[in-house]
Chain A
């Protein structure tokens, strides 16, 4: 597609439930990234995919967080047993070798 698409744009979930966030990168971008942005904060790196593999997942905050990417395209970030501190905007970006990052508009997750 023309840009990075994320869905849903907003998600409200109950504490303890699992959530899945989806990212559709720009067609042809081999690299895909997930970041988290808490209120009034900068972006916190979560995980980086190159193709379907994740050479850097050092930012995942706990084993409740996981991500996968299939077909070198769509990625899903899964948060299990959500906690209130998971509330944040989850941003996805994709890049080509030298083309720079393009960010999606994010998924605003609220855990109640």
Chain B
């Protein structure tokens, strides 16, 4: 079945530093999504990417949909303590801009930010 490899598994950084994490897939996805999960909560969508090569920003977050449609990265600039949490990539195989259909998730990146 489809698998997503997400790296790094964890990161320990100083406040103000930039962060980069990425996901690679063994198969093509037509939608890439990045989520953040806080303890005791469900994942919350940060950025959605629908087109190969697309580069999208949301405040200090920037994500790109790889040209091959088999990878994506997320950058966080000027990190702050509230960026702490687990970040997940997710891919959806079906095309057409719909949100319907299952997501395949990466294993997550645990981010710790030291003040």
Asked if B97 and A45 sit within 8 Å, CB to CB, the answer is: no
Asked if A95 and B88 sit within 8 Å, CB to CB, the answer is: no
Given contacts A95-B100, A99-B99, contact A42 B105 (CB under 8 A): yes
Q: Which of A4, A40, A48, A105 contacts B102 (CB 8 A)?
A: A48
Asked if B42 and A103 sit within 8 Å, CB to CB, the answer is: yes
Asked if B42 and A106 sit within 8 Å, CB to CB, the answer is: yes
Given contacts A41-B107, A42-B107, A106-B42, contact A33 B102 (CB under 8 A): yes
Asked if B103 and A45 sit within 8 Å, CB to CB, the answer is: yes
Asked if B43 and A103 sit within 8 Å, CB to CB, the answer is: yes
- Cα-based distance from A100 to B102 in the complex (angstroms): 11
Main secondary structure on chain B at its contact with chain A?
loop
Asked if B102 and A45 sit within 8 Å, CB to CB, the answer is: yes
Asked if A59 and B108 sit within 8 Å, CB to CB, the answer is: no
Residue of chain A at shortest CB distance from B9: A40
Residues of chain B lying within 8 A (CB to CB) of residue A97: 98-100
What number of A residues sit within 8 Å (CB to CB) of B?
Answer: 27
Residues of chain B whose beta carbon lies under 8 Å from any beta carbon of chain A = 4, 6, 33, 40-45, 48, 88, 90, 97-108
Residues of chain A whose beta carbon lies under 8 Å from any beta carbon of chain B = 4, 31, 33, 35, 40-45, 48, 50, 56, 59, 91, 93, 95-101, 103-106
15 CB < 8 A contacts A-B: A31-B99, A31-B100, A42-B4, A42-B88, A42-B108, A45-B103, A48-B101, A56-B101, A98-B98, A98-B99, A100-B99, A101-B45, A101-B103, A105-B40, A106-B41
Q: A101-B45, A101-B103, A106-B40 are in contact. List 16 more A-B contacts (CB 8 A).
A: A33-B103, A41-B108, A42-B108, A43-B88, A44-B105, A45-B103, A45-B104, A59-B102, A91-B42, A95-B100, A96-B99, A98-B97, A98-B98, A103-B43, A105-B42, A106-B42
